[in-house]
């Protein structure tokens, strides 16, 4: 998986153009969370699911909600005092005396009367405002619970405000309406409904952005600020660059499976010049798929603790012509951590040369802040290149063209 060094993380760039290429075939945040979980799924300390990724994203979202929460009431009764209530006089029919009786209308229905006709004042709440309020409160409480699930603690305590919201959502005034995700017009209506409702509008506007179909905006707001999530975004962005290079070259990669954690086999397949290439995303089951045993597995059979085998982040392979491109993503500000990528890709390349390919090239891709220019070293197993995402497009075109010769 794309690696991130330990300790404080500098603000490192993400290849957003590659992300945009990948998002063309994704329909919503569920695909984004699933893709990130697929990258993080190789974490030896945790098995990631899309729901785990969503919880991490909610940690960032909760931080974005704090200013609004701090201005909210700490008592439920203060909320009930501002719920808008309207009253109107309505015609009613009742078997007993209620309200103001219309005796003339009652007499016309027969005497002695079995029903009494009259008028009564009925109170009702603004259903739209309450529906938006219910959605906002329920969503806010979910985000809060998720932020606690990942052991997040904010220095700015809003426990009393959240407790008031927890009580408010159980009130009949909110339970009698269905929650509604607000649109821009509803947000404006809330803003015009008073000072307290302006705070609700502000909070609802922050929360509803997670429902956007603009996955770039969502990733920038809730994923990229988290260093661990940033490394997964980097990996996905690099994969998107590979797809863009192939498509720009007139090739047509066909998706074989979604980008999901635990999914097996190549992610894309493409035919060019009568040959089939397979594009792998997290090539963990590569050797089993090809019916071969990885050399490391053979070498480590005698070890009591052989550890986990490692695999390329991204692999483009032609089994018939025995050619391959290998890519390892290193999202870190630590030079020694990035340099470890050389040993990794050289191992992958050397192992592949033993029984799977006859020629190949490998790349270690790190953030642009850490790589000033692409540089290549020639080894017995094949060329190894350090580069940034901005260099990768040119390097891949060159390498792929050479492997097709």
Residue pLDDT, tens place only, 344-375: 999 999 999 999 999 999 999 999 999 999 99
Contact 238, 12 (CB under 8 A): no
E strand or H helix at 376, and its extent? strand 375-378
Residue 334 has pLDDT above 90, yes or no: yes
CA dist., res. 290 & res. 354, Å (int)? 13
Q: What share of the chain is helix, strand, coil (3-state, %, to 5)?
A: 50, 15, 35
CA dist., res. 1 & res. 330, Å (int)? 9
pLDDT tens track for 169-187: 999 989 988 999 999 999 9
Domain(s) of CATH 3.40.1350: residues in the chain: 227-404
Contact 142, 153 (CB under 8 A): no
Fold held by 227-404:
Trna Endonuclease; Chain: A, domain 1 (3.40.1350)
Instruction: State the alpha helices, DSSP H only, in 276-372.
Output: 286-289, 295-299, 335-355
- % the chain with pLDDT above 90: 61
- DSSP label of 222: I
pTM for this prediction: 0.79
Q: Give the pLDDT band (50/70/90) at residue 4.
A: very low
Q: What is the pLDDT of residue 222?
A: 92
Q: What is the pLDDT of residue 83?
A: 83
Residue carrying structure tokens 């397979």: 278
pLDDT tens track for 220-231: 999 998 888 889
CA dist., res. 364 & res. 387, Å (int)? 6
* Other CB atoms within 10 Å distance of the CB of residue 252: 11
Burial of residue 91 (number of CB atoms within 10 Å: 0-12, 13-18, 19+):
exposed
């Amino acid at each position: 998986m794309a690696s991130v060094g330990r300790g404080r993380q500098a603000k490192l760039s993400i290849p957003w153009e590659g992300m945009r290429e990948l998002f063309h075939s994704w329909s919503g945040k569920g695909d984004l969370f699933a893709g990130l979980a697929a990258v993080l799924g190789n974490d030896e300390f945790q098995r990631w699911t899309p729901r785990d990724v969503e919880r991490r994203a909610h940690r960032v979202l909760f931080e974005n909600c704090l200013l609004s929460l701090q201005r909210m009431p700490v008592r439920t009764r203060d909320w009930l005092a501002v719920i808008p209530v309207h009253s109107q006089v309505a015609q009613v029919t009742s078997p007993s005396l209620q309200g103001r009786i219309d005796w003339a209308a009652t007499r016309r229905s027969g005497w002695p009367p079995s029903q009494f006709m009259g008028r009564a004042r009925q109170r009702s709440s603004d259903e739209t405002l309450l529906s938006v309020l219910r959605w906002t409160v329920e969503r806010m409480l979910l985000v809060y619970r998720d932020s606690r699930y990942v052991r997040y603690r904010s220095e700015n305590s809003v426990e009393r405000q959240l407790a008031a919201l927890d009580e408010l959502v159980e009130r009949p005034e909110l339970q009698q309406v269905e929650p509604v995700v607000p649109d821009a017009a509803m947000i404006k209506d809330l803003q015009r409904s008073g000072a307290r409702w302006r705070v609700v509008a502000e909070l609802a506007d922050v929360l509803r952005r997670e429902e956007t179909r603009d996955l770039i905006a969502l990733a920038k707001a809730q994923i990229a600020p988290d260093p661990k999530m940033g490394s997964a975004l980097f990996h996905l962005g690099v994969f998107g660059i590979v797809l863009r290079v192939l498509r720009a070259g007139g090739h047509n990669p066909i998706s074989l499976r979604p980008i999901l954690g635990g999914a097996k086999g190549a992610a894309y397949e493409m035919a060019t010049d009568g040959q089939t290439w397979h594009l792998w995303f997290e090539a963990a089951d590569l050797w089993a798929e090809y019916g071969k045993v990885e050399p490391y597995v053979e070498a480590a059979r005698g070890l009591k603790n052989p550890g986990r085998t490692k695999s390329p982040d991204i692999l483009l392979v032609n089994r018939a012509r025995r050619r391959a491109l290998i890519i390892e993503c290193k999202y870190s500000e630590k030079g020694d951590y990035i340099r470890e990528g050389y040993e990794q890709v050289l191992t992958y390349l050397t192992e592949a040369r033993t029984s799977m390919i006859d020629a190949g090239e490998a790349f270690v891709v790190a953030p642009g802040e850490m790589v000033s220019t692409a540089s290549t070293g020639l080894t017995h197993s094949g060329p190894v290149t350090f580069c940034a995402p901005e260099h990768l497009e040119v390097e891949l075109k060159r390498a792929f063209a050479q492997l097709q010769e």
